[in-house]
Amino acid sequence: MRYVKLSSENFSSFFESLRNWGKVYAPIKRGSIYTFQEVHELGEIELNYTRTMLPPKKFFVRPRDEILRLKNGRWENGTDAEPIVLFGLHSCDMHGLKILDKVYLDEPADPYYKARREKTFIVGISCMPDEYCFCKSLGTHFAMDGFDLFLHELPDGWLVRIGSVRGHEVVWENGELFEEVTDEDLKHFKEFEERRANAFQKEIPQEGLADMLDLAYNSPVWKEYAEICLACGNCNMVCPTCRCYEVCDNWISAYDAVRERRYDSCFMENHGLVAGGHNFRPTRLDRFRHRYYCKSYFDPSSGYNCVGCGRCDEFCPAKIEHVKVLEEVRGSLR
């Protein structure tokens, strides 16, 4: 890794330089929530944000995505990718993208996701956890890769980690904005990370988690929560790793149709329904449990399917807490 320093006075010039890459999307505050939107000047950005409602997956797997377009009886590629900059991603969201990469870039790669991913320049930013965050216990609180540049807050600027060749190029082209990292910067960086590590209020104890959850398949806790759950699917929409999609064809004129995919949720009754009417997850209990199992699945190469961002807790209308459910299910084994 290469490290450089970006001082506070050069920050806006640096931001301007990113606009050469493409449209810049960054977190802004809208009402009481944060959201990634296109920004034109630094002042619009909310750098001290907690979490956006929709994770950055929306740029790669869009809520509604036209994948094919019917022209003269033939399907044509319906979508294209443009270069963009995602500015201000938190570490957990980068890990979320890595989990999506594993699914969408695995053979056969999804061409739309792949093209968008390749054309996106990612700038990470350090953050302070709030009461919902539990990324530290999942090891996703620090990104070692998955970004082009990562900005760590210092009292007088930013410590920049360069994570890719493209990151190097941007720093190279704007050499006058950056300087060498001093011992004092390192001290501040260390202090910040220590302060951050101590600020987490929630954690998932991982020891034997996957096995214990599996053993607790018939736990009454699932049932208790399934009764509280509204099955609205909010948690799926806001989850940075949930990616189920549904496909449908829509006619736009007598001659043109589009094949569109859109977010689907495993809480919907028809998620496991097959032709002829058999439903493989007929009850809300089945569907509730399925989501928790899907999120807690441990893949040896990419870890859990959960990055601890806390979105499902914050945006759950029934106030169901992910960690608490898992702890109670595990506790019910004793």
Partner 1 sequence: MSENPHQTYDARILEVKDLTPREKLFTLRFLDPEIGEHFTFKPGQFVIVDIRGFGEFPISLCSSPTRKGYIQLCIRKAGRMTKFIHQMKEGEVVGIRGPYGNGFPMEKMEGSNLLLVAGGLGMAPLRSVLWYAIDTGKYEHVWLLYGTKAYEDILFRDEIIHLLKHGDAVGCSVKLAYEVESPSCIYLERGFFDRVCKGVVTDLFRGEEFDVDKAYALICGPPVMYRFVIKELLDRKLSPGRIYMTLERRMRCGIGKCGHCIVGTSTSIKYVCKDGPVFTYWDALSTRGLI
Q: Which of residues 198-237 bind partner 1 (CB under 8 A)?
A: 209-211, 213-214, 217
Residue with tokens 């620090």: 142
Taking contact as CB under 8 A, which single stretch among the options 35-43, 106-114, 187-195, 307-315 is the one that binds partner 1? 106-114
Task: Return the number of the residue (172 or 217) whose C-beta is nearest partner 1.
Answer: 217
Strands of 100-210, DSSP E: 120-125, 149-154, 157-162, 178-179
Q: Are strands 64-71 and 257-263 parallel, antiparallel or unpaired?
A: antiparallel
The contact pattern for partner 1, residues 267-286, with x = CB under 8 A and - = no contact, is ----xxxxxxxx-x------
Q: For residue 140, give the nearest of 162, 124, 160 by alpha carbon.
A: 124
Taking the complex as a whole, the smallest distance from the CB of residue 97 to partner 1 amounts, in Å, to 15
CA separation for the pair 299, 320 (Å, rounded): 25
Taking the complex as a whole, the smallest distance from the CB of residue 207 to partner 1 amounts, in Å, to 13
In a 3-state reduction of DSSP, which class is residue 316?
coil
Contact pick of 54, 68, 89, 325 for partner 1 (by CB under 8 A): 68
Structure tokens at 221: 């806790």
Task: Return the number of the residue (42 or 209) whose C-beta is nearest partner 1.
Answer: 209
Residue 207's CB: how many other CB atoms inside 10 A?
7
Taking the complex as a whole, the smallest distance from the CB of residue 278 to partner 1 amounts, in Å, to 7
Partners of 3 in the beta sheet?
161
Residues making contact with partner 1 (CB under 8 A)? 67-68, 70, 73, 75-77, 103-104, 106, 108-111, 209-211, 213-214, 217, 243-249, 251, 257, 259, 261, 264, 266, 271-278, 280, 290, 292-294, 296-298
